[in-house]
């Protein structure tokens, strides 16, 4: 008799930390829902449009001050308190 092992499923990916709500991947859809152009939001927050594009694409993660500014402009309470 040979013992057969059940195939192992890949390990589950860890849950994202709670301080990333809502996820920055949603930033573009939040911005578009408010009717804001990337350039307009970037200038209002005090960053370059290219940097905001990198935040939206996940290439960069903004610091606490930029998160607060984005939260204020987009009306997202979850980012306001994150530091």
- CATH number for position 64: 1.10.260.40
C-alpha distance across the termini of the chain, in Å: 59
The domain total for the chain is 1
Domain with 39, as residue range(s), is: 19-80
**What tokens appear for 57 in the block?**
């694409």
Name the pTM for this structure.
0.66
| Confidence band, pLDDT 50/70/90 cuts, at residue 66 | very high
Do the domain assignments include residue 36?
A: yes
Per-residue pLDDT tens for 9-42?
444 444 434 444 457 778 999 999 999 999 999 9
Do the domain assignments include residue 55?
A: yes
- Do the Cβ atoms of 27 and 61 come closer than 8 Å? no
User: What percent of the chain stands above pLDDT 70?
Assistant: 65
Do the domain assignments include residue 13?
A: no
CA distance 34 to 29: 9
Do the domain assignments include residue 6?
A: no
Do the domain assignments include residue 75?
A: yes
């Amino acid at each position: 008799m040979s013992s057969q092992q059940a195939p192992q499923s890949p390990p589950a990916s860890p849950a994202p930390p709670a301080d990333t709500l809502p996820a920055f991947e949603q930033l573009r859809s939040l911005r578009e829902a408010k009717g804001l152009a990337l350039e307009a939001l970037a200038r209002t927050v005090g960053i370059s449009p290219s940097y905001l594009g990198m935040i939206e694409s996940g290439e960069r993660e903004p610091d606490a001050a930029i998160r607060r500014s984005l939260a204020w402009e987009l009306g997202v309470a979850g980012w306001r308190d994150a530091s």
